[in-house]
Structure 1
C-alpha cells in the first residue's frame, strides 16, 4: 500500500456526504443492471442450448450455452481497465450512467436475436457479442456504485452503506428469476419460440428508469475534493500497479468466492433440471427465496463487521459456503426438494451473504481514493472472470453423463480456500479513518529518551 500524496489540504477530512441518497441510488441502479445480467444466466441454463445450439447433443449444447454465460465474465477485466480509468480520472457518476445504458441496450438486443434455425451459426456469434457488451458494462457497475457509497458514508458505517450495492444485485437476481417463473411454465413450443424473449425485452424499461435515477446522482465529496486540489491521478492504472499491486492481487484471489454464486445460479440449476430431471419452477423458486433472505442478511452482516471487523465474518462465510455446497449438490442429486430448499436458502441466503455483505467495503478500503475505482474494478473482475467460468469447468468435471457432482463441490471448496488465504493476509480496515484508507499505517512512536 502507498501513502497519499501531499499532506494538507488533501489529507484533511472530507466534507460530510449523503450516504442515504448514495445507497438508495446504488441499490436501485444495481438491481436494474443485474436484472439484465442474471436473466442471461437463467436463459443460458434453461433455453439457449435448444435455441442457439440445437445441432449439438444435449450435454454438449448445455456446455456451450453455459460457456456463453462465462464469456461475459471474460470481457469484464477489459472493461475494468477502461471504466476504472474513467471513474478515477473523470468521476464515479459518469461510469454509473454509462454502464447502465450499455447493459440495458445489449440485453434488449439479446431478446431480438434470430435463432440458429433462422440464420445458422450467425445466431450464437451475435449472442456472444452481446454477452461481451454485458460483461464490459458489469465491469464498472459494482466498483462504481461501491466507490460512490463508501465515499459518501460515515467512517463507522462504511460496510452498512456499501452493502446496499450488493442488496441491489440480489434484488436484480430475484427479479430476473421471478421474470422467468411464468415463462418457464409455458408450453415448450411457446417458450422456445417467443416466451424466453420477454424478460430481455423488459430491459427497455430498465434503461429509461435507470438513466433518470443515475443522472440525478451527486458526485462524491472525496472525488470533488480531489478535483478542487488537483489531486486526481492522471494515469490511475499506473499508480495502482506501482503502489497497490499486492492489494490488487489480494482482491483477485478473494473475488473467486463469486464461484459460489455462479455454481448456485447457473450450474446447479442446469444440473437439477437438465441432468437430474427436476421441475424448472421449484428450482427457480430456490433462487428467489434464497435471494429474498439475502436482502435481510446482507446489511446485518455488514453492520456486524462495522463493529467487530471485516475479516472474521468474511472468512466464516467462505468456509461455510464451501461446506454447504456439498450438501446442496447432494440434495439435488437425490431429488430431495425439502433439503434443496433448506440447504440452498441457508447457503446462499445466509452464509454466502456474510462475504457478499463485506466485500464492497473491504475491497474498497484497501485503496486510496486516487485509484479506488480502478483497484476494485480490476481486482474484482479478474477474480470474477475465474468465477464466471466455474459453471463451464463444472460441466466438464461432472462426467460424460453429467451426474458426478462431487468434483464440482471440491472445485468450489478449493476456490473458497484461496479466498480465505487472501483475506487472512489483508489488513483489517474497519477502524481506519476514510482519509487514511489505502495508506501505510504510521509506525508507533517510540518513547522519548531522557537524559
Structure 2
C-alpha cells in the first residue's frame, strides 16, 4: 500500500478531497522535517570535515600540528554549551506558541551562522580574532541546532499515523544521511583543488553554499501548519507555563533515558563522521579523497537502510530494532578498528559503511518515534530536544577524546574501541529499562 493512502483521516464518511488534503499536509510536513535536518547535518558535517582537515592550519597555525588538531576538534564540540540552551529556548516556544514558528527561526539562525563561517578571515589576516569569530558562530550554530531536531521530530511524529510513526520518523533522520552525503560530496570536489587554493578559498565553498539550502528549507516550512495534536491541546489550554520545569519535574527519567540510549549511537556517529577523517589521513596515510569516499559510500547505503529500520520498528517494535543496533555496536567496537588498522581501503570502506548504515542506523532511525513517545504533547518539543541534545556533551567531545586516547596509547586504537564498547553497553541498559511504545497514543496528556 502506498504511504500516501495511509492517513489518520477516518475512512468512514471521509471524502476523497479530505484524504487528499490531509496527505498533502503530511507530505509537506515530511518535506519540512527532511529539508531542515538535511541542512542541520550538512552544516554540522562540513564543519566537522573542515575541523579535521583544514582548520588546524588556518585558525591555529601557531600551535603544534597535534595541538592544532585538538583545539580545532574542541571548537567542533563547543556546541555542548549552546545546544542544551537552544533546546530549552526553542522547546519552550515550540510548546507554548507552536512548532512551526520555532522551526523557522532555528533554520534561519543555523543557515546564517554557517554562511558567515565561510566569510571569516583566517588567523593570518586578523590574528586571534579569527578563532574567536569561529567559536562565536559555532555557538550560534549549536543554539539553533538545539531546537531543530526536536522540533522536526515532534512535528513529523504528531502528524504521522500511529502504525507508520517509525517509518515517517526516519524522514527526519534521513536528513543526517543526505546532509552527510551532500557535505562529503561537496568537500570531495573541493579537495581536488591544489593545496594552496584549497587553503586559500576552496574550503569556504561548502559553507557559502549552505545559504541556498536554507532558502529551500524556509520555502517548504512556510507551507506547513501546526499539528492537530498541538492544536487540540491549545484549544483546551492544556499547556504548562514553563515546559522545562514540567519536563524536569515529571519527565526527568525520560530525559536521562533518552541521553543514555544515545550514548552508543552518538559516539559511533562522531567517530565515523569526524574522527576517522583525521585518523585515517594522519595515522594510516590515506588520502583525503579516500577518507571522504568512505563517508560517501556509508551515507549512500544509509539512504536505503534508515527507512527500512524505521519501517521494521513499526512492525516488531522500537526496542528490538534499537537493541540490535546497540548490540552490533558493542560486538564491532574492537573489530571496527581492527579492520581499519589493516590499512586496506576496502576494509575501511566496509567497516565505515556497515557501522554507520546498519549499527548506527538501527538506533538513529528509530529515535524520532521512540523519543517522541516518551513525552506528553504539552512538553514534547522541550523534552525530546533536551534529551537528544544533552547527549551531545559526550558526542561532541568524542573526536577530541579519541585523539587523546590514541596519543596516550602510543598509536594503538584499543582505548577508543573500549570507549565505544562502554557507551554501547550504557545504551543497551537504557533500552532494556524502557517500555515498548510503538502503539502509544500521542494525543494530549497532562502530567500532574
TM-score (norm 1): 0.91
1:148 match: 155
Please name the residue that 2:386 is paired with: 378
Q: 1:302 aligns with which of 310, 327, 330?
A: 310
* Alignment of 1:286 onto 2:286: no
- 1:255 and 2:255 are equivalent in the alignment: no
Quote the residue 2:113 is aligned against.
106
Partner residue of 1:414? 422
Candidates 34, 50, 62, aligned match of 1:43? 50
The answer to whether the Cα contact below 8 Å between 1:22 and 1:217 also exists between their aligned partners in 2 is: yes
**Equivalent residue number for residue 131 of structure 1:** 138
Partner of 2:6: none
Whole-angstrom CA distance in 1 between matches of 2:354 and 2:40: 25
CA deviations over 1:261-289 (Å, ceiling 9, x no partner): 11111111111112221111111011111
Cα deviation, residue 73, structure 1: 3.2
* Distance apart, 1:322 and its partner CA: 2.9
Do the aligned partners of 1:51 and 1:115 also contact (CA within 8 Å) in 2? yes
Q: Is the 8 A contact 1:53 1:124 kept in 2?
A: yes
Let me know the Cα RMSD of the aligned residues: 1.8
Q: Which moved more, 1:319-328 or 1:112-121?
A: 319-328
Give the conservation status (yes or no) of the 8 Å contact 2:370–2:437.
Answer: yes
Q: Work out the CA distance in 2 between the residues paired with 1:22 and 1:353.
A: 22
- Write out aligned runs for 1:434-449 (5 A): 434-435=442-443
- Which residue among 374, 388, 396 is the counterpart of 2:404? 396
Equivalent position to 2:191, from 184, 195, 200: 184
Secondary structure of 1:370 counterpart: helix
Task: Tell me what 2:126 maps to.
Answer: 119
Match of 1:349 among 350, 353, 357: 357
Which residue is equivalent to 1:326? Answer: 334
**Contact in 2 for aligned 1:258/1:384 (Cα 8 Å):** yes
Paired residue for 2:62? 55
Residue 76 of structure 2, aligned match among 69, 81, 97: 69
- 1:164 to 2:171 alignment: yes
Report if aligned partners of 2:409, 2:415 keep a CA contact under 8 Å in 1: no
- Cα distance in 2 between the residues matched to 1:100 and 1:398: 36
2:100 counterpart of 1:96: no
Question: 2: CA distance between counterparts of 1:68 and 1:348?
Answer: 24
Are residues 1:20 and 2:30 paired?
no
Q: Deviations over 1:313-352 (max 9, x none)?
A: 1011012123324233233322111111112111111221
Structure 2 unaligned residues grouped into runs of 5+: 1-17
Whether 2:435 is the aligned partner of 1:427: answer: yes
CA contact (8 A) 1:258 1:387 kept: yes
Q: Tell me, yes or no, if the aligned pair for 1:183 and 1:196 is still in contact at 8 Å.
A: yes
What is the CA–CA distance in structure 1 between the aligned matches of 2:357 and 2:416, rounded to whole Å?
Answer: 20
Alignment partners' CA distance in 1, 2:41 and 2:121: 24
Matched, 1:267 2:281: no
**3-state SS of the aligned residue for 2:377?**
coil
* Structure 1, unaligned runs of 5 or more: 1-14, 441-451
C-alpha displacement at 1:44, in angstroms? 0.5
TM-score under structure 2 normalisation? 0.92
Using the TM superposition, give the Cα deviation of residue 121 of structure 1 relative to its aligned residue in structure 2, in angstroms: 1.3
Distance in 2, Cα, partners of 1:438 & 1:344: 43
What's the CA shift for 1:243?
1.2
Q: Which residue of 2 aligns with 1:447?
A: none
